Structure 1
Amino acid sequence: MSNQNRLKVLIVDDEPENIQLLMEALKHEYIITAAKSGEKALKLAGSNQPDIILLDIMMPGMDGYEVCRGLKANDQTRDIPVIFVTALNTTQDEVKGLEFGAVDYISKPFKPAIVRARLKNHLELHNSRKELNKLRRCVENSPSTIVITDTEGNIEYANPAFTEITGYSTEEALGQNTRIMKSGMHEDSFYRDMWRIITSGRVWRGEIVNKKKNGELFWEQASIGPIKNSWGQITNYVAVKEDISARKDLEKLKEDVERIMHHDLKTPLGGILVLSDLLLTEEGFNQEQMEMLGMINESGLRMLRMIDMSLDLFKMETDEYMYSPRQVEVRSVLQAVMDDVAPAFKSKNIHLLINTNQQQESSPLKMQAEEKLLYSILCNLIKNAFEASPRDEQIQINLSESPSPAISIENKGVVPEPIRDHFFEKYKTFGKTSGTGLGTYSAMLMANTMGYDLKLDTSDSKDTTILTLVGANLGAQDNGSGKSSQES
């Protein structure tokens, strides 16, 4: 056997004859180092990291018990197995040695064959324990949920990821049946098929909706299979699961977008655009009627662009969107939004007021952005303010460049307490019978894509809500080079 594959043994004894006897017995199978004192033994153990230590007890200065205590107190050496080899042979001596942390106790005079056999057994046991500890650390540090049950589905082990995801502590979970996570979203036949597969000795793989301790439902990708003993009998089941709720949300969003585009919006919108185009070519309409037809056609085209942009939202969520910024004049985009929302605002007699300082009135206010994204953000935020505002009120839009650039939209009314911390989250809505919970979420997504942020400030005392778009690029003036003033 080459030295590279041989395990290392440290012999500690103050008698050279004993060291020589042990070296002769072991030299053909192991790499041997020796120490004649406890102090030297501790240094060698720390630097050479032997696989096992044969340790005498009766030594001058630091005896074997003190050496063993020192080894176990050091993180580098605490796991090295120690076998006492000593002339002390009473039961009390042996018990004391084992209590100090030794794995075995060999009395002198020893038989070389016995030493070799015990050494071999303890090294195999130690290596097995190391592999088990490695496996345990892998399981405990796994980001996936790992659960082991008995054959009835009662939980015998759950790793920390299980607690993090489900909310059940280890103490709460142990002994409970996995039915505590049953969501009620699957038919009984779903579970019967699962049990039929795993009880037959096969692995079940699939997606499952489970329920957290707080009642929240979540999706998991699961693999559940049997654990068998040496005779092939199933003794336990192990489940390895990954939380895929975020992926499911993306899939749902994609389905919603595709449904809206292909069925709910594009088909009737196409008819509106074709009809308005035809009417614009007809004679007999007065100037006001032609302007109204033009507005219908332009609004339809803008809606078509919004539908196409819905696909872009999905790309933003999956980091596939290609952002192409340019200098955009804020007031022109804002005017387009105001034109589109004007009919709805009239229905509630709500007035839209734009506030700027005197210097801004005489110069264009530009920002680095994509025009269609800026339009969508402002449209979403203004519509949100409109829905929250009482009748006969006004919504103020404040454009500012200092102390930090911002577009803020202020309306009467406050955001309800239960939704304030989740205002920009997907599918979060409150008190709206027809709300999708996507308006403010998509506005935040588009703002972040362009390098901006959205801030919510709602005040119960003032009965107002302010939504602010902030970012470093707002307020840049066009200098004729196609770059912002910061870039030139």
Structure 2
Amino acid sequence: MIEILLIEDNTDDVELIKYRLKTDGFDFKIRHVLSLEQLAETLSNGCPDVILSDFNLRGFTALDALEFVRLNYPKIPFIVVTGSIDEETVAFTIKSGAWDYVVKERLFRLSTAIKAAIERFNENRRTEQVENKLQILSIAIQQASTSVIITDREGNVEFANKKFTEISGYTDSDFLTEKVNILKSGLLSEKEYKEIWETVISGSQWKGEFQNRTKTGELYWVLAS
């Protein structure tokens, strides 16, 4: 069931919106408010899946409601459902944070707009979850007790953790102009380096020990995988 918070001061329009959604086969529950005070109180008791708001209301506009929602509940989809509205106002409303607008004379668009908004909300949430996981992974790698370095297929260094910097002496700024081959000790032949690199970029796993050279020229052993 989709939970809808409707900001509307015209009871006929409230019933019209309900009728339109029922006609479209929506399974929904509507909470109806008339003022900013009621909006704040209702949201404090639980967030809906989507907010629908008329534009011109008694004592305030959809922009006032939108400002409150954006400041306090920025992730809730907000759709303006209104009578005639000029293009400049539409553009400003969208720029202010509204997800969509539907003209009351074309309420057949309402169901599509709600579905699109909820789908976008769910996609945003999935993206946020992935980004949070990546952030946790990044922190874990950065704080790892093992040296970690990530390069692209051309050998450009894209990431090096603190342990790598501690051991090798090289920092991110060093790799702005240099590639990973600056670590070469010179003790392996070019053929051996080539075989290692070709194995890695082919997607296969290479394991072994070899020596690299620090920024100050000292040799150190690496158990690579």
- TM > 0.5: yes
**SS of corresponding position for 1:31:** strand
* Structure 2 counterpart of 1:97: 93
**SS of corresponding position for 1:105:** strand
* Structure 2 counterpart of 1:72: 70
Contact 1:155–1:177, Cα closer than 8 Å, also in 2: no
The alpha carbon displacement at 1:165 in A equals: 4.7
Q: How does 1:16-35 map to 2 (within 5 A)?
A: 16-26=11-21, 28-35=26-33
Instruction: Find out whether 1:136 has 2:131 as its counterpart.
Output: yes
Q: How does 1:80-479 map to 2 (within 5 A)?
A: 80-112=76-108, 114-142=109-137, 143-144=140-141, 152=154, 164-166=162-164, 168=171, 179-180=179-180, 183-184=183-184, 187-188=192-193, 189-196=195-202, 198=203, 204=205
Contact 1:53–1:82, Cα closer than 8 Å, also in 2: yes
* Structure 2 counterpart of 1:38: 36
Contact 1:38–1:61, Cα closer than 8 Å, also in 2: no
Letter of the 2:18 partner, please give it: M
* Structure 2 counterpart of 1:49: 47
**SS of corresponding position for 1:79:** coil
* Structure 1 counterpart of 2:168: none
CA offset digits 1:239-265 (Å, max 9, x no partner): xxxxxxxxxxxxxxxxxxxxxxxxxxx
CA offset digits 1:156-182 (Å, max 9, x no partner): 7x6xxx55455556xx59x95993486
Mark the CA change 1:97 to 1:194 in structure 2 (over 3 Å): closer, same or farther: same
Mark the CA change 1:190 to 1:117 in structure 2 (over 3 Å): closer, same or farther: same
Runs of 4+ residues deviating >4 angstroms = 145-156, 162-169, 175-178, 205-222
- Aligned equivalents of 1:90, 1:215: Cα separation in 2: 70
Structure 2: segments with no counterpart, 5+ residues: 143-147, 166-170
Mark the CA change 1:15 to 1:204 in structure 2 (over 3 Å): closer, same or farther: farther
In the superposition, the TM-score normalised over structure 2's length comes to 0.71
- Aligned equivalents of 1:147, 1:25: Cα separation in 2: 57
Letter of the 1:86 partner, please give it: T
The alpha carbon displacement at 1:215 in A equals: 8.7
Contact 1:8–1:50, Cα closer than 8 Å, also in 2: yes
**SS of corresponding position for 1:17:** helix
The alpha carbon displacement at 1:23 in A equals: 2.2
Larger Rg: 1
The alpha carbon displacement at 1:133 in A equals: 0.9
Mark the CA change 1:45 to 1:184 in structure 2 (over 3 Å): closer, same or farther: same
The alpha carbon displacement at 1:206 in A equals: 5.0
The alpha carbon displacement at 1:21 in A equals: 2.0
- Aligned equivalents of 1:215, 1:29: Cα separation in 2: 70
* Structure 2 counterpart of 1:15: 10
Mark the CA change 1:21 to 1:79 in structure 2 (over 3 Å): closer, same or farther: same
In the superposition, the TM-score normalised over structure 1's length comes to 0.36
**SS of corresponding position for 1:141:** helix
Contact 2:153–2:201, Cα closer than 8 Å, also in 1: no
CA offset digits 1:370-398 (Å, max 9, x no partner): xxxxxxxxxxxxxxxxxxxxxxxxxxxxx
Number of matched residues?
202
Mark the CA change 1:181 to 1:212 in structure 2 (over 3 Å): closer, same or farther: farther
CA offset digits 1:22-54 (Å, max 9, x no partner): 223335333322212222123222321112111
* Structure 2 counterpart of 1:59: 57
Contact 1:13–1:55, Cα closer than 8 Å, also in 2: yes
The alpha carbon displacement at 1:141 in A equals: 2.0
Contact 1:153–1:177, Cα closer than 8 Å, also in 2: no
Q: CA RMSD in A?
A: 3.7
**SS of corresponding position for 1:132:** helix
The alpha carbon displacement at 1:149 in A equals: 7.0
* Structure 2 counterpart of 1:277: none
**SS of corresponding position for 1:32:** strand
Contact 1:57–1:64, Cα closer than 8 Å, also in 2: yes
Mark the CA change 1:195 to 1:33 in structure 2 (over 3 Å): closer, same or farther: same
**SS of corresponding position for 2:5:** strand
**SS of corresponding position for 2:101:** strand
The alpha carbon displacement at 1:111 in A equals: 2.2
**SS of corresponding position for 1:34:** strand
